[in-house]
Structure formats: structure tokens, C-alpha cells
Amino acid sequence: MIPAAFEYAAPKNVSEALAMLRQHPDAKVMAGGQSLLSLMKLRVASPPMVVDLGRIRDLSYIREEKEHIAIGALTTHTDIERSSVIQKRLKALAESAEQIGDLQVRNRGTIGGSLAHADPAADYPAAFLALEGTIVVQGSSGTRTITADQFFTGLFTTALKANEILTEVRFPTSPTINGSAYKKMKHPASGFAVIGAAAVVRAGGQLRLAFTGAASHAFRAKTIETALSGKKLDEATVRAAMEQAAQGVDLLEDLFADKVYRAQLVKVYGRRAVLAAVQ
């Protein structure tokens, strides 16, 4: 289908983009366009104006800093997948990037756009939560940060305000990450996650486990994290703990996977992610 008519703007910097959003409060921000353009073609979304951030080159980078790794919002999935820094320090993030869509999508799609869109079956959210990420946003009132645990608020909704632009994603490097992994059951038609699980084991035995595809938004399995804290993470111990992984979660249900099937997938892929992170 063809989108409804709309105005188009391509600001050269974040300040110019924010000014446009103030002038046009109903405008939609576009990063790589892999999600927004599809919705517009289906006329699920019909914004009067699209503010395209694609020409703001300062928002595409991967920097290893003293206490964290910083990734610009317009950094593509391909850049994240191939980065030696990400491969070494944030393996779960690299593994989630390499499983997004196809090559064309990975070459155009961006981490900032994906997180801001907050699709319940997107790959990044699970890794973002497990790796204790932080979002940096700029708005008319200045710059602020939002932690991963505060960011996803519901189906396709986040803590971003209407006049804010996501500019950077940060991941702490201390305490040291001993291992991390992302495991996914891919929908055979769409490529989205039926279930995706990200696990991170840090120095001192700290475990974080998060899921995507299971509920209205990505979430941490805090009960499992507590149950496995300080324990030897072997096959038997992890398998037993995972029996409670879907407990209390309002699971999604569709023609491909009902709630019972998704509950089983949560157990299986949660176990696989934790064991892969340990290895």
C-alpha cells in the first residue's frame, strides 16, 4: 500500500530535530525506518510529518569509555553485530543484532529506533534489560537518562516523552561480565522472536535474565535471578529453576503459539541462554 500524504523533514542535528518536534507535536521521528515505514504503508500510522534523523551522522558510533560502552542511537544492527568491542564485551547484544530480520533490515535498522519502537517481539529489549542498559534522551527541558528497568512500560510504549529523542544507549562494564548470551526461537514468517532470552553472568555470581516475545513488553525474570543467585549454574540446577520462569506473567497468545506453548518456550530458551552465558 501507499502511505497517506505527509510532510518530510531531515534535520542536520539534534537541536534542529527538537525544534521541529516543538513546531509539529504530532510528527513522528524516524531512525532507520524499518518499523515506521511499514506501519505507514499499512496506514496503521499516518503522521502528518516525519522527522528523519538519518542525516545526523553524530548519532552513529560505538565508544568504549571508562565505565561503560556507549552506542549512538543511529548505529545500525550490522555495525553492532560486527563490532569487535561488542563481540568481546557485550556478546548478548551482538547475538541479538545478528538475528534481527535479514541483511537489508540490519543494514538500515538502528538500535535507537528499535528500542524506541518497543515491539514486544523485538530482539534488543531482552539484551538491553539483561545487560543493565541505560537510555540517554534529549528534549526541550534538557538531557536525562532512563534505566532499562524503567524504560519499557507496555505494548509499544516506553518512558520516552513526546518531545524527546533517544540519542545514546549505554551499557556498564563494571562489574566485569563473565559471560552473556541471547537465544531465540524465530517466527518462521516474520523473523521476530516468538521467544527471545538474554542472560548475563557478572563477576560475583550476579545473574540477570530477560525475555522478549513472551509478554506485552520485555521483562526481567527476577524470581529466577534470585533463585539462581550464588548457585552453581549447571544443567540440573538451571532446569529446575526455569520451571517457575513464566509464573505470574501474562503471556501473549497468537495463531502460532498459545500461552501453554509460550510458557514452555520461556523455560527452554531461558535455560539455553543461562547455560550459554556460563560457557
Q: What is the pLDDT of residues 25-66, one digit of tens each?
A: 999 999 999 889 999 999 999 999 999 999 999 999 999 998
Q: What percent of the chain has pLDDT over 90?
A: 92
Structural contact between residues 219 and 249, judged by C-beta atoms closer than 8 angstroms: yes
User: What burial class does residue 162 get, using C-beta atoms within 10 Å of its C-beta: 0-12 exposed, 13-18 middle, 19+ buried?
Assistant: exposed
pLDDT reported for residue 140: 86
- Examine the pLDDT at 201 and tell me if it is beyond 80: yes
| CA distance linking residue 193 with residue 206, whole number of Å | 26
Structural contact between residues 189 and 160, judged by C-beta atoms closer than 8 angstroms: no
Rounded to 5, what percent of the chain is helix, strand, coil? 35, 25, 40
Q: What is the pLDDT of residues 208-263, one digit of tens each?
A: 999 999 999 999 999 999 999 888 999 999 999 999 999 999 999 999 999 999 99
Q: What angle is formed at CA 110 by the lines to CA 105 and CA 114, rounded to 5 degrees? A: 95
| CA distance linking residue 18 with residue 160, whole number of Å | 14
pLDDT reported for residue 115: 98
- Examine the pLDDT at 97 and tell me if it is beyond 90: yes
pLDDT reported for residue 58: 95
pLDDT tier, 205 (very low <50, low <70, confident <90, very high otherwise): confident
Look at residues 65, 277, 29 and name the one whose alpha carbon lies nearest to residue 139.
29
For the chain, list the domains and their CATH numbers: 7-52 (3.30.43.10), 57-172 (3.30.465.10), 177-278 (3.30.390.50)
